[in-house]
Amino acid sequence: MATRLPGAPALEREQLLDFLYQMLLIRRFEERSAEQYGRQKIGGFLHLYIGQEAVAVGAVAALSPEDYIVSHYREHGHALARGCDPKRVMAELFGREGGVSRGKGGSMHLFDKERHFLGGYAIVAGHLPIAVGLGLSGQYLGQDRIAVAFFGDGAVNEGAFHESLNLAAVWKVPVLFICENNQYAMGTEISRVSAETEVYKRALAYNLHAEQVDGMDVVAVYEATKRLAERARSGEGPMFLEAMTYRFRGHSMADPELYRSKEETQRWLGRDPIARLKDRLENADLLREEEYTDLDRRAREAVDEAVRWADASPPPPPEALWTDVYVGRGPVRGRDHA
C-alpha cells in the first residue's frame, strides 16, 4: 500500500485517515442531531454543518492545540474537530448538565476552555473582535499562539467584520480569519447583498494577506491553513482565508429552502468532501473499502454513544439558574421568586 497522496507529500496516511474519520464523525453527529431535534430532545435553533466538514477538519488540524478558536452558531464541526468530547457536545445540545457549557449555552454556545475552544456566538460577526483580543493576548504575553475565527459569508457585511480586520491589521495581531463562504446567509444569496462576491477580495482592503481555497477539499484547506497560521504566528499579522463551500441542509431546522434550486444543491452534493477524500485515497491506493466502512462504523458508534450519554445526563439543577452570573459575587436579584 502507498503511504502518501500524490500532490500532498507532507501528509501521512494516518493523518489523512484521521481527516476522513473526523469528517465522518461530524457528518454522523449532525445527522443524529437532526433526528434528535425531531424528537424534541434538542430545542431552540439547530444549525447543521453538513457539507462543510472539510473546512473545520482541515483547518483545525493545521493549528496548534494552544491556538484559540472562536466560531459562530454553526460550530458543532469546529468543536468536534478541536477534540471536544462528542458526548459532552451532544449533552449540550440536549441542555444537560454534562454538556460542554453545562447546559446553559446550547447548540449555539459551545465552550470548552480546556481545549481553548472559546465559544460559539449567535450574534453574526460579534465574535470577530473577540478573536482579535485573543490574538492580542498571545502577542502581548509573548506566547507562541494565534487566534482563529470561523464565520460565514453573511458576517462580512457587518460593521464588526470591518472594525476587526482593520484593528488586527494595524496592530499586526496574530489572528486567522476563516470565512466559510457557503454562498447563503439564511435565504440570501451572497451576490444579492455583497458588493463583492469574492470575499477574500474584501479582506484585501485591509492590507493583509488573503486567499481563497476549495472548502470541499480537506487537504487543500489543511495546507492553506497551515501556511497562513505559520505566517500569522511568525509576526506577519492577520491572515484571511476564504473557504468556498456549501451547506447541504437548510439554514436551521425551520428553513423551507425556497431560495435555492434543487439543481444547485445537487451540483454541490457531487463535491461532497467526504466522498472526495475517500475517492482520492482509494485512487491513490491508500484506503480500502472495508477500512472506510470501519471508520464510518466507529463514527456512528461514537455518535450513538454520545446520544446515549447525553440522554443519561440529568438536566441542570434549578440552582444552576443563579450561578455563573458573576465570578465571586453572591446571589442576584429575583432569586426571592424562585
- Identify residues 147-206 at the interface with a second copy (CB under 8 A): 157-163, 165-166, 169-170, 192-196, 201-202, 204-206
185-224 positions binding other proteins, by CB under 8 A: 185-189, 192-194
- Of 215, 128, 213, 205, whose CA–CA distance to 173 is shortest? 128
Report the alpha-carbon distance of residue 75 to residue 198 in Å, rounded. Answer: 23
236 binds a second copy (CB under 8 A): no
Tell the smallest beta-carbon distance from residue 202 to other proteins (Å). Answer: 12
Per-residue binding letters, 59-98, with ligand TPP (x by CB under 6 A): ---------------x------------------------
Please say whether the beta carbons of 135 and 147 come within 8 A: yes
Find residue 112's DSSP bridge partners: 117
Task: Work out which of 122, 204, 220, 253 binds ligand TPP, going by CB under 6 A.
Answer: 122
Cα distances (angstroms) measured from residue 328 to each of 175, 200, 259: 32, 44, 49
Cβ closest to ligand TPP, residue 101 vs residue 182 = 182
Sole window of 31-39, 121-129, 199-207, 212-220 interacting with ligand TPP (rule: CB under 6 A) = 121-129
- Which residues of 153-291 form beta strands (DSSP E)? 175-181, 184-185, 188-189, 209-214, 239-244
Angle (CA) 269-270-274 rounded to 5° is 80
Sole window of 20-28, 75-83, 140-148, 222-230 interacting with other proteins (rule: CB under 8 A) = 140-148
17-46 positions binding other proteins, by CB under 8 A: 43-45
Residue 205 binds which of a second copy, ligand TPP, other proteins, none (CB < 5-8 A, kind-dependent):
a second copy
Positions touching Mg ion (CB under 5 A) are: 152-153, 182, 185
124 binds ligand TPP (CB under 6 A): yes
Find residue 178's DSSP bridge partners: 150, 241
Residue 169 binds which of a second copy, other proteins, ligand TPP, none (CB < 5-8 A, kind-dependent):
a second copy
Sole window of 23-31, 146-154, 232-240, 294-302 interacting with ligand TPP (rule: CB under 6 A) = 146-154
What letter does residue 155 receive in the DSSP assignment? G
Write down the number of H helices and E strands in the chain.
12, 8
Residue 131 binds which of Mg ion, ligand TPP, a second copy, none (CB < 5-8 A, kind-dependent):
none
Report the alpha-carbon distance of residue 270 to residue 67 in Å, rounded. Answer: 33
Tell the smallest beta-carbon distance from residue 16 to other proteins (Å). Answer: 33
Residue 201 binds which of a second copy, ligand TPP, other proteins, none (CB < 5-8 A, kind-dependent):
a second copy
What letter does residue 8 receive in the DSSP assignment? B
Cell of 338: 424562585
Residue 321 binds which of ligand TPP, a second copy, other proteins, none (CB < 5-8 A, kind-dependent):
other proteins
Cβ closest to a second copy, residue 32 vs residue 202 = 202
- Of 208, 183, 209, whose CA–CA distance to 194 is shortest? 183
8, burial (CB in 10 Å: exposed 0-12, middle 13-18, buried 19+): middle
DSSP labels, 120-164:
EE-STTTTHHHHHHHHHHHHHTT-S--EEEEEEGGGGGSHHHHHH
Q: With CB under 6 A as the rule, give the number of residues binding ligand TPP.
A: 14
- Nearest-10 Cα torsion for 181, 186, 189, 192: -120
Question: Would you call 244 helix, strand, or coil by DSSP?
Answer: strand
Position with the least CB separation from Mg ion: 152
Task: Work out which of 94, 184, 200, 248 binds ligand TPP, going by CB under 6 A.
Answer: 184
List residues near a second copy by CB under 8 A: 157-163, 165-166, 169-170, 192-196, 201-202, 204-208
List residues near ligand TPP by CB under 6 A: 74, 122-124, 151-155, 182, 184-186, 251
